[in-house]
């Protein structure tokens, strides 16, 4: 499990396909551009790079662990579906057995009824037997009804469990619908959190340069002017439905 998570996190290469490798590959060129432009000095470069690497590692690890958690939950649901299918098969077999018992009891009732008509001297005993068989028949019918109801419940359970792992329609206000909505919101939250952290890192880099060099300005190159900030704020407000 640990080896699998590490492989998904990083392939130990600057050009790897791990989550950390990909995010760092996207962030480093921005940092180098600022350094080459002279907006980040030598001593500041290592501090900014270390902070960026730590933030990227945290974001990457959270993303990989969440994906792994979702995969394990999907496997668990799949096992539960298999178990529910087996339970339904068992219930179906029980219904078949009970149905056979009903037919047998019905035949016995017919036989007892015939014996009652033909044997007047044994009437009392035969009537008692008939009553007993009818009671057993009613009990068997009741058991059949119960098994059918349990099968319906298990079928509904299978449909609910499948909704957890498959793209089938469910009511938005149901437990499954709410859970899916929560996963979608969490995924969007991770994406927005990553965007905000990277933006915060770059903004702090600019503020550091501004502190040491008053000639540094917010323009269309570093995207910290009023127009760029306004677009970012508008997008963030849209992301939270504000």
Contact criterion met (CB below 8 Å) for 113 and 130: yes
Residue 102 tokens, joined: 């009903």
Distance of CA 12 to the CA centre of its chain: 29
Say what the pLDDT of residue 1 is. 47
Q: Who contacts 23 (Cβ-Cβ below 8 Å, separation ≥6)?
A: 56, 59, 60, 194
Say what the pLDDT of residue 136 is. 92
Residue 222 tokens, joined: 């570093």
| Domain total in the chain | 1
- Report the alpha-carbon distance of residue 40 to residue 86 in Å, rounded: 65
Containing domain of residue 201, as a range?
A: 2-239
Say what the pLDDT of residue 25 is. 87
Residue 62 tokens, joined: 């959270």
Give the mean pLDDT per block of 10 residues along the chain (242 residues): 67 83 87 82 83 90 85 88 89 88 88 80 80 92 90 80 64 73 79 75 73 78 77 76 69
Give CA torsion, residues 209, 215, 218, 223, to 10 deg.
-60
Q: Who contacts 84 (Cβ-Cβ below 8 Å, separation ≥6)?
A: 154, 157, 158, 161
167: domain CATH number is 1.10.287
Say what the pLDDT of residue 164 is. 65
């Amino acid at each position: 499990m640990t080896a699998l998570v590490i492989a998904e996190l990083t392939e130990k290469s600057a050009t790897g396909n791990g989550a950390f490798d990909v995010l760092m590959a996207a962030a480093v060129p921005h940092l180098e551009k600022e350094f080459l432009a002279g907006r980040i000095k030598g001593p500041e470069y290592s501090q900014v790079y270390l902070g960026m690497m730590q933030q990227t590692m945290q974001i990457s690890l959270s993303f990989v662990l969440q994906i792994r958690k979702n995969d394990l939950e999907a496997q668990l649901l799949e096992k539960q579906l298999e178990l529910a299918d087996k339970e339904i098969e068992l219930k179906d077999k029980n219904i078949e057995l009970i149905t056979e018992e009903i037919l047998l009891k019905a035949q016995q009732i017919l036989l007892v009824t015939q014996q009652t008509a033909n044997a007047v001297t044994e009437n009392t005993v035969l009537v008692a037997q008939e009553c007993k068989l009818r009671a057993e028949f009613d009990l068997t019918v009741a058991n059949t009804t119960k098994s059918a109801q349990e099968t319906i419940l298990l079928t509904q359970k299978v449909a609910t469990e499948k909704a957890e792992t498959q793209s089938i329609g469910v009511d938005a206000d149901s437990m499954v619908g709410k859970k899916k909505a929560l996963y979608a919101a969490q995924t969007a939250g991770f994406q927005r959190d990553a965007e905000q952290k990277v933006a915060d890192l770059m903004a702090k880099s600019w503020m550091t340069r501004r502190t040491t060099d008053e000639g540094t300005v917010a323009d269309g190159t570093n995207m910290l002017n009023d127009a760029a900030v306004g677009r970012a704020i508008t997008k963030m407000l849209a992301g939270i439905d504000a």
